Structure 1
Amino acid sequence: MEEMGVNDNYIQGWVAGFLNNPEIEEQRITDEWESGFEDGKEHTDSNFTNFT
């Protein structure tokens, strides 16, 4: 994902979701992070190209 230029917030959210980490503080959540978190929880990588 990093080599393809995917948004950093998406990647961080994806990793957090994949590892079942708790959500970050509400004021720090971005749309990109939230989408990554949901995709990570589902263990899917099919949506990350939307965030390049």
Structure 2
Amino acid sequence: MVEADVAARRSVRSVPCRHCHSPAFSPCTSNGKPLTKSPAHPVRVDDAFAAMAASAT
């Protein structure tokens, strides 16, 4: 289970965040501090899934 969580976070962080402007492979932030209640902003998760879908085709 832990390995799957690490892989999911890594894939989400493989794209930059359009919300907080964190670069790829850096954590999302709010007020300059890393998020604590979720691994990334929803828009970043959506972008990561779109990137994975595009690379699968």
TM (norm. structure 2) is 0.23
Structure with greater proportional strand content? 2
Work out which structure has the larger RCO, using CA pairs closer than 8 Å and 6 or more positions apart in sequence.
1
The structure in which a higher percent of residues are helix is 1
Larger Rg: 2
